[in-house]
Chain A
Amino acid sequence: MTSGIVFDIKEFAIHDGPGIRTTVFLKGCPMSCMWCHNPEGQSRQPQVIRGLAGDRIAGKEYTAIELASLLNQQIDILRANEGGLTFSGGEPLLQADFVAEVIDLLDDVHVLLDTSGYGQEQDFRQLANRSNLVFFDLKLIDGIAHQHYTGCDNDLILKNLHLLNEMGKPFVIRVPLVPGVTDTNQNLADIVLTLRGLSGLLRVDLLPYNKAAGSKYRYAGMEFKPDYDESQEHNLNTELFEQAGIKVNVV
């Protein structure tokens, strides 16, 4: 029996996929995106969050069976409301064996994997295989910029994207619009080019930058240091996608 670390379980997560869903946030992420809005999801270890109402520990260890039975308590409700479970993070691929075991223990339910795509092929394969839908983040296509802003290169991500398409899984590409970083016409055009011809692509979701992200760092005892101008207007260029025949949504 494997166990894993979860930093939050959030019900009625209305922007995390179709219908009424519950999202499990897995703790730990190999990336360190400069704009990360879940900084408490980065470290694998439980950590203290010093909130206005006092301290709390973010991160709780569950065995697969514990987590699955907790989730199974409400699966009937999720299923009756066109929804299901979403595994997000952090990065679920980092705890792939655990997540796979949890999914195998679940009653019949729609599963959505919300991933950065950064992980080993076998990890990605086993989770994508068990999912009905994948939310796949694409941030930057330029490898050097990707390394600078996320702390890692994007080779694995692009490989897993193509693997996903070959597996025949439906997926949604999610692009966080970071002003002057990911929302440049160049990057968006590169993303369009990357996506061209991928048959499993349902649509692209553009996620406008959330300025509230920075405030969470303080509570997690971390430092927020963007080297881009947060106050800059977004470039909401949906046309680039539409011209390429790709359905696009602003979330």
Chain B
Amino acid sequence: MNERLTTLKNRVRAGTHRSLRQVAPIEILTECESRQLSWPRRVALLVRRQCEAEHVIIEPDERIVFTRTLPGVPPIYSPEEWAQLTVGRTLHESGPVSNICADWNLLLSQGLLGRKQVALATRERLVDEPKAVEFLDSAIETIDAVLELAARYADKAREKGRVEIANILGHVPAHPARTFHEALQSLRFCHSAVWLSGNYHVGLGRFDQYIWPFLSSDLRAGYLTVETAEELLAEFFISLNKDSDLYPGVQQGDNGQTLTLGGVTPTGDSAVNELTRMVLRVSRDLAMIDPKINLRISAQTDLDLLSLATELTRIGLGFPQYSNDDVVIPALVSHCYALEDARNYVVAACWEFIISGRGMEVVNIGAVSFPAAVDQAIRAGLTAQDDFEGILDRVFKNIDEQVHQLGEAYSRLLLPPSPFYSIFMEGCLEQGRDLSDGLKYNNFGIHGACATNAADALAAVRQFIFEDCSISSGDLLSALNANYAGYEPMRRKLADEGSKVGNNDTVADTLLVKLFDDLADACEMYGHTPRGGILRPGTGSAMYYIWLATGHAGMREPVVGATADGRRSGEPFSANLSPSLGVRVRGPISMLQSFAKIDYQRICNGGPITMELSDSVFRNTESIRKTAMLVRTFAQLGCHQLQLNSLNLETLLDAKAHPEKHTNLIVRVWGWSGYFCELAPEYQEQIIARHYFGSS
């Protein structure tokens, strides 16, 4: 990294650009009300007024511009009107459409003016359909607003004698991009404008596919060298880190600015190109949390690419996250995705597999709490003197009930109109329909959370109550009710002995597989949603590994007390697919073998095997290559997703004690990476308690 990039990076990390921010969000409610605007028109007005209110910021050393100065997105309805509008309906998270991915190629290949032409043509065709006209007028209003903002930036650049920026902004985002630099600038503007519109978890999609044609022609023409291109790329990445503190998320860093690399083309050929490698290198050298990188691989991916990716893992950002095309693509196809779309999948904010520009999917409508389903079944089943099969039947009923409740809650889902975001979705402008009215794919995702603790608890009951009868059901019930107070020897036995997920041991693994089969069965039995989609089961845990243990305001799922795997009340669960905290496991191979048993063809919503390697593992090129082999093994075993982290336990402990010395320490939290010292203590503790596979 050269000096200019270092300065840009340090400035963003220090947050000096935040002093340019305006004090308060703008106010547009009065105008919305006095003009008695419809919902789509209010959103369009919001985008217009946000763009108008933005201050133009061009730093002397920047070549890709746009610095957000508005601190928030103002309300367009009063609380009373909003309550009336949404009565009896379910809102997803905080309401706005989020966690989907645009087809950014629509922007780069047509420009905003090209998209406007499409909107105008459709408007002429559908002039007798008021809803379509209203949507198209709203979309056109937002296009004009963003173009005016870009024009103000261009004027200011010209005024300041910044010819390069002025020329680029004289062309994009209005017109199709012609160069790599224009493509990045156009993307920076419109990606930011989606955030300004109130949408969040705004993904970047298959970046190495839609950007590569521009880079490739610039390299061929000699406009750019690999070095000058990498410098622009690094600057673009730095710009994505400017506004993280303004983005809504459970914890800071949870912002969904992900991109997806590699994989195959829609015709099934390898999609890896020089930009794939360039992104991995630049991200490694930059060491910032955004963009978060996903790499699509297969059993055939060569070790050189995996070694380069491992070098990125080595610096401890918690990415790239790997997904396995060999498993994911057929799983999507068996869930009714067209083959060419399945081959084009990207990873959403955390893990879920979605289709850019073609999916209005809500990939995380909630979690099935496996610990609750299992714990209730164990307590009720033992009390009723069920046999083990009886307990398993109860587990299924509980899972099915939870799925049903989530499905029913979301049958009343209300999605706000998003005219600007719709511009970059296939068919919206062409058919005069807002994306909130649905796209080609409209499925919902439900994750089965904290499965390993639940499977371990079932395994303990099977072994110690029903097989060797070394614990009586009455004693276990008393111990659970007492949170193991006075039952420490029993708790140790449950926690330390017997079969545990992560050791390639049949007893616990079979129960793990069954939990996910139950989830898949329950989702299948639920059938179609009113939005015409299905429920996709997944294997992620998100914040639930903390929330299910400690509770959280607004959470639907019950808090789970002491569990039969020897876990005390309040202790966190393990994240995603990883062994229960504190369980002894032999290492990464058995862990992969355990999780490879899940039938991922039925579980297509994603959710990674989460594995922590000590940073000492990455000492030399030989061990990096071995780690690359481990990643290849993950793919060869037929698992679907892998999150591999490099961490030093002593560093984490020191960061707890002396946060001021570790402001740049980055960790993977669940589906995203954040700065360790910006996390709530319970998340820090959970990370410290994970399994670390060391080198000696």
B583-596 to A contact mask, C-beta < 8 Å, 1/0: 01011111001000
A56 touches B504 (CB 8 A): no
A74 touches B590 (CB 8 A): yes
Residues of A within 8 A of B412 (CB): none
The complex places the Cα of A53 from the Cα of B496 at a distance, in Å, of 12
Count: A-B pairs, CB below 8 Å:
64
The complex places the Cα of A136 from the Cα of B311 at a distance, in Å, of 32
B582: interface (CB < 8 Å): yes
A11 touches B586 (CB 8 A): yes
With contact pairs A56-B496, A74-B593 given, residues A14 and B587 touching in the complex (Cβ less than 8 Å): no
Expressed in whole angstroms, the minimum distance between the Cβ of B582 and any Cβ of chain A is 6
A92-132 to B contact mask, C-beta < 8 Å, 1/0: 00000000000000000000000000000000000000000
A73 touches B629 (CB 8 A): no
CB pairs A–B below 8 angstroms (30 shown) = A9-B586, A11-B586, A11-B588, A11-B590, A11-B693, A12-B588, A12-B626, A12-B630, A14-B617, A14-B622, A14-B627, A15-B696, A19-B626, A20-B629, A20-B630, A20-B633, A22-B586, A22-B587, A54-B492, A56-B496, A56-B584, A73-B593, A77-B593, A77-B633, A77-B637, A80-B633, A80-B636, A81-B632, A81-B633, A82-B629
In terms of DSSP, what is the predominant structure of the interface of chain A? loop
B587 touches A10 (CB 8 A): yes
With contact pairs A12-B589, A14-B695 given, residues A73 and B504 touching in the complex (Cβ less than 8 Å): yes
A19 touches B586 (CB 8 A): no
Residue of A nearest to B617 (CB): A14
B35-61 to A contact mask, C-beta < 8 Å, 1/0: 000000000000000000000000000
Q: Interface of A with B (CB < 8 Å)?
A: 9-15, 19-20, 22, 37, 53-54, 56, 73-74, 77-78, 80-83, 210
B241: interface (CB < 8 Å): no
Expressed in whole angstroms, the minimum distance between the Cβ of A52 and any Cβ of chain B is 11
B617 touches A22 (CB 8 A): no
Residues of A within 8 A of B693 (CB): 11-12
Task: Point out which of A54, A78, A81 has the most chain B C-beta atoms below 10 A from its C-beta.
Answer: A81
Using A20-B630, A82-B629 as known contacts, list a sample of 11 further A-B pairs with CB atoms less than 8 Å apart, ordered by residue number in A.
Answer: A11-B589, A11-B693, A12-B588, A14-B617, A20-B589, A20-B626, A20-B633, A53-B582, A73-B590, A81-B632, A83-B626
B376: interface (CB < 8 Å): no
Residue of A nearest to B624 (CB): A14
B601: interface (CB < 8 Å): no
Query: B residues 457-495 with Cβ under 8 Å of A?
Result: 492
B192: interface (CB < 8 Å): no
Query: B residues 625-655 with Cβ under 8 Å of A?
Result: 626-627, 629-630, 632-633, 636-637
Expressed in whole angstroms, the minimum distance between the Cβ of A11 and any Cβ of chain B is 3
B492 touches A74 (CB 8 A): no
Query: B residues 215-243 with Cβ under 8 Å of A?
Result: none
Residues of A within 8 A of B622 (CB): 14
B17-39 to A contact mask, C-beta < 8 Å, 1/0: 00000000000000000000000
Residues of B within 8 A of A56 (CB): 496, 584
Expressed in whole angstroms, the minimum distance between the Cβ of A131 and any Cβ of chain B is 21
Residues of B within 8 A of A77 (CB): 589, 593, 633, 636-637
Residues of A within 8 A of B695 (CB): 14-15
